[in-house]
Structure 1
Amino acid sequence: MPSKEVSAPEVRKFSLSFEEAVEQPHFHKTSFRVRKKVFATMDESARTVVVKLTPVEQSVFSGFNNEAVYPVPGAWGAKGWTMIDLTGVDRDLLLDAIRASYRNTAPKKLAQLYSDKES
């Protein structure tokens, strides 16, 4: 059980801490991008974050808490896009998922900066 809900400002600060990460609107959500590619979106009103994981990572992260971490419905979810409920997820699990998503999206040289260390 998470100690507290992860706040939108905390998600924003962490997501923007990666090299070349920028924030841009994405329909009614906020997106976090690296070199124009989305690695996460946040819907502040729904208190959710969507990240881009590999199908294997998605299975692992969902295994820790499948009520708060689960595939996005439809084809996007089958490709690894994963919904995370900010009201029910452990902070460290969320941050690890965002970090994995950045690594999956960023160019290789940028992704390698976060392969073995905390951000």
Structure 2
Amino acid sequence: MKVSTVRTYALSLHEATEAPHFTYQSFRVRDKIFVTVPPGEETIHIVLPEAQREQALALHPQFIEKLVWGKSATGVRVTLARAEAAVVKALILAGWQNKAPKALRDAHSR
């Protein structure tokens, strides 16, 4: 999977935008980050709640690892070269849903 595919999908979600975040690129919904892309574009970081993070880690350890930011686990790191596109898209959507306001989530599901 390539970052261009991640970008296309992330930006297809309601009100998603792309902006720099220090040395990373980020995808946001109403200024809340749901995906970051580190320099080199070999991995992406998806911000997820604990239950979804743990499920992704259990089901796809071949390309997903826990993302720790400071002292907290905040999501998952996905190695794009080994990733399954459908899984990555589902996780990006879950990250977006976690950050988007309810009204926006409802509008997206219509």
Please tell me whether residue 96 in structure 1 is matched to residue 72 in structure 2. Answer: no
Q: Larger % of helix: which?
A: 2
| Matched AA of 1:99 | L
Q: Larger % of strand: which?
A: 2
**Aligned residues: percent identity?**
28
Cα distance change, pair 63–23 in 1 and its aligned pair in 2 (3 A): same
Cα distance change, pair 113–63 in 1 and its aligned pair in 2 (3 A): farther
- Residue of structure 1 in register with 2:4 after alignment: 9
2:44 to 45, 49, 60: 49
Report matched runs for 1:1-119 at 5 Å: 6-73=1-68, 74-77=70-73, 80-114=74-108
Cα distance change, pair 110–63 in 1 and its aligned pair in 2 (3 A): same
C-alpha distance in 1 between matches for 2:6 and 2:18: 11
The structural deviation recorded for 1:44 is 5.0
RMSD, matched Cα: 1.7
Q: Helix, strand or coil: the match of 2:28?
A: strand
Using structure 2 for the length normalisation, give the TM-score.
0.89
C-alpha distance in 2 between matches for 1:85 and 1:71: 11
Aligned length: 109
After the TM superposition, list the runs of 4 or more consecutive aligned residues in structure 1 that deviate by more than 4 angstroms: none
The structural deviation recorded for 1:46 is 4.5
